[in-house]
Chains A and B, each alone.
Chain A
């Protein structure tokens, strides 16, 4: 459980940083005239939190196969999109502008989702490299017949 919490915290902070970038890009594209107060600084934290909640579906008592994990990741992405779009556009009129903005948000969620996984993979690659080096030293020390 401890590892799961550390993993979620790491995902959260990477997500918050990338959501900031996504808000900047989508805001500049779709609502360049918009002005906001200080409360706007809370929205990346809130969206980061909301998008971390669906990672719960990755929890399993049994070790997931790669296929099962990919399926659950796809569901996680779908839930992220549904939750964020529901929070942003709840109560809005369904017009052309709203739909275009929602699609833009959905695309930015996919981009952030992929970017978070790429960054995590790079961090894990560094750990894997360290493990392989430690392993080589271990095998050298303990060489057996």
Chain B
């Protein structure tokens, strides 16, 4: 397999592109490795521990003092509290959207009005989550940055 590294200008977004005939297990391993290099958090599912790449997280929700990490289809539990995730992910593309939810802004498809000054976020996996009125100014600020 050929490996090419191209230096690009500062004005362009850095990227990794893989040219392959089919997306097989070895390609998936490379992808997982690259994702893990961008940060990972620990999560539990069926009594097994997993390293979850931060970029794969859709949202993190706190329900009755338990914290759940939602991916496109899977859900993991974490021992960390929501405020701890908030601190860890502050510099990433995540934002607090309600008392109980931290959302990955890169997973939103569209935002529409919900009742009572709230907004409904449609995610890339089809799920919908609510943005509380209180957090809208913070989200606007984050989107500017």
Interface 9-residue window, one of A88-96, A98-106, A129-137:
A129-137
Among residues of A, the one whose C-beta sits closest to the C-beta of B55 is A144
- Dominant SS among interface residues on chain B: mixed
Report chain B residues within 8 Å CB of A132: 110-111
Which of A63, A70, A125, A127 has a CB less than 8 Å from the CB of B132?
A63
Total contacting residues, chain A, CB less than 8 A: 29
Interface check A35, CB cutoff 8 A: no
Interface 9-residue window, one of B43-51, B81-89, B98-106:
B98-106
Which of A3, A70, A131, A139 has a CB less than 8 Å from the CB of B117?
A3
CB distance from A15 to the nearest CB of B (A): 15
Contact A128 B111 (CB under 8 A): yes
Task: State A95–B40 Cα separation when bound (angstroms).
Answer: 73
Task: State A132–B108 Cα separation when bound (angstroms).
Answer: 9
Q: Flag A110-129 by CB within 8 Å of B: 1 or 0 each.
A: 00000000001100110110
Interface residues on chain B, size class = 20 to 34
Among residues of A, the one whose C-beta sits closest to the C-beta of B131 is A131
Task: State A121–B99 Cα separation when bound (angstroms).
Answer: 23
Task: State A1–B77 Cα separation when bound (angstroms).
Answer: 32
Chain A interface (Cβ within 8 Å of chain B)?
A: 3-4, 7, 58, 62-64, 66, 69-70, 73, 120-121, 124-125, 127-128, 131-132, 134-135, 137-139, 141-145
